[in-house]
Structure 1
Amino acid sequence: MSGGVTLIVIAKEPVPGRVKTRLIPPYTARQAALIAEAALADTLDTVAAAPATRRVVALAGRPGAWLPRGVEVIAQRGAGLDERLANAFADVGGPAVLIGMDTPQVTPGMLADASRRLNDCDAVYGPAADGGFWLLGLREPAPHRLRGVPMSRPDTGVRQLERLEGLRVATLGTLRDVDTAGDAVRVAAQAPGTRFAAAVRAAEHAVHAGAR
């Protein structure tokens, strides 16, 4: 089934003041948006390089130059993030693997592994270091398993796993997603050759230059 999986990226248009606001300060709104755009571009390039039947970005906003060929765009639907995630799965159908735009250290191999695991499991779950999750895969769309899960909390991952009870769940390794400037620096060190790392280095240089 690994070749029959849809890869979904849930993303926001990287507009200054609307994305990665927890990076402000120490970074400016423009620097935070550039970091977000770099993370999104890296993530979509990884998705483009991974095996999949379809590659989709569920987007809040408008597509830009960061969108590679071969990646479809659908609009996010719903009020809270739980609803937007549930609707993204429903809109593309199953099987599907979904990630966000804030783990630019993800590799095509990681996504291929997640897709393969849906051969034998009903769901795939990738825990994040902050208590959330960086990846969720479902063999079949199941909106009720996402709607109502509290998002962006230390117990988000635990609550999401509770919703997957009764399914055969494969668990992946833990990754750090980018919420704070400290996260950005750590993730950039893990993926030094990425656009994301270059954007973080530029922002860090500007911060330290301004402090002198």
Structure 2
Amino acid sequence: MTATTGPGTLLVIAKEPVPGRVKTRLTPPYTPHEAAALAAAALTDTLLTVLRAPARRRVLVLDGAPGPWLPPGFDVVPQASGGLDERIAAAFEQCDDGPAFLVGMDTPQLAVDHLAEAGRGGCDAWFGPAADGGFWALGFTDPAQGGALVRGVPMSTDRTGALQRSRLTEAGLVVRDLPVLRDVDTAADAAEVAACCLPRSTFSAVLNSLAENAR
């Protein structure tokens, strides 16, 4: 059954940007502290974009502790234990009634227009594929469905996105596909994503600063 939705819960699932714990594939060429600075910048841009989008509630699902990068306007809940599928599933299961839409911290080029597209009705789920074969966004008009439809999907593979989307359609959901975005995993990703960000984005500024310091 298709549903029409308005603004609901916007979720950001993220890890505290601690050196050595985040964006380890950026090292090398970046040091662990530089990789953490890029992670913090990506998270900052993501949170500020989510703040500008209409929503009834905004939630940061966090592994770690909040820092100065967290703006007002978010409820903070801890991530569940287990693999990424378990943590995403638990995030949806904690939502109130009404549509819920989840993004990660790896796409600082996220724009309000992407979130507005996700808020349109006429579907049961939203799916944002990532260029590396994963997904950058997932949403449900009924978040109570999310746990069963995410739990057990193998994460962090080049087939994760295809497998997750198949889960949705096999369950009979009408899926609205969102644009493909690139995650920041490697230095090459960081450079390409920065070129897609707003010129004054935090991510672009930090990346440019690191390039200047390396000269």
TM-score by length of 2: 0.92
**Quick one: which of 161, 183, 200 aligns to 1:193?**
200
Alpha-carbon shift at residue 199 of structure 1 (Å) = 1.1
Alpha-carbon shift at residue 200 of structure 1 (Å) = 1.2
Alpha-carbon separation, structure 1, partners of 2:109 and 2:125? 22
**Quick one: which of 195, 202, 209 aligns to 2:209?**
202
Q: Which residue of 2 aligns with 1:88?
A: 91
Alpha-carbon shift at residue 169 of structure 1 (Å) = 0.3
The answer to whether the Cα contact below 8 Å between 2:15 and 2:64 also exists between their aligned partners in 1 is yes
Going from structure 1 to structure 2, the CA distance change for 1:167 and 1:154 (only over 3 Å counts) comes to: same
Q: Which residue of 2 aligns with 1:168?
A: 174
Deviations 1:33-52 (A, max 9, x none): 00000100110000000010
Alpha-carbon shift at residue 162 of structure 1 (Å) = 1.4
Alpha-carbon separation, structure 1, partners of 2:124 and 2:6? 16
Going from structure 1 to structure 2, the CA distance change for 1:68 and 1:2 (only over 3 Å counts) comes to: farther
Alpha-carbon separation, structure 2, partners of 1:164 and 1:2? 18
Which runs of structure 2 are paired with 1:1-212 in the superposition (5 Å)?
3-93=6-96, 94-116=98-120, 119-141=121-143, 142=145, 143-165=147-169, 166-191=172-197, 192-207=199-214, 209=215
Gaps in structure 2 of 5+ consecutive residues: none
**Greater than 6 Å deviation, 4+ residue runs:** none
The answer to whether the Cα contact below 8 Å between 2:44 and 2:70 also exists between their aligned partners in 1 is yes
The answer to whether the Cα contact below 8 Å between 1:2 and 1:112 also exists between their aligned partners in 2 is no
Gaps in structure 1 of 5+ consecutive residues: none
Alpha-carbon separation, structure 2, partners of 1:21 and 1:198? 20
Alpha-carbon separation, structure 2, partners of 1:95 and 1:35? 31
The answer to whether the Cα contact below 8 Å between 1:3 and 1:51 also exists between their aligned partners in 2 is no
SS of residue matched to 2:158: coil
Alpha-carbon shift at residue 2 of structure 1 (Å) = 5.1
Alpha-carbon separation, structure 1, partners of 2:175 and 2:5? 16
Alpha-carbon shift at residue 177 of structure 1 (Å) = 0.9
How many residue pairs were aligned?
206
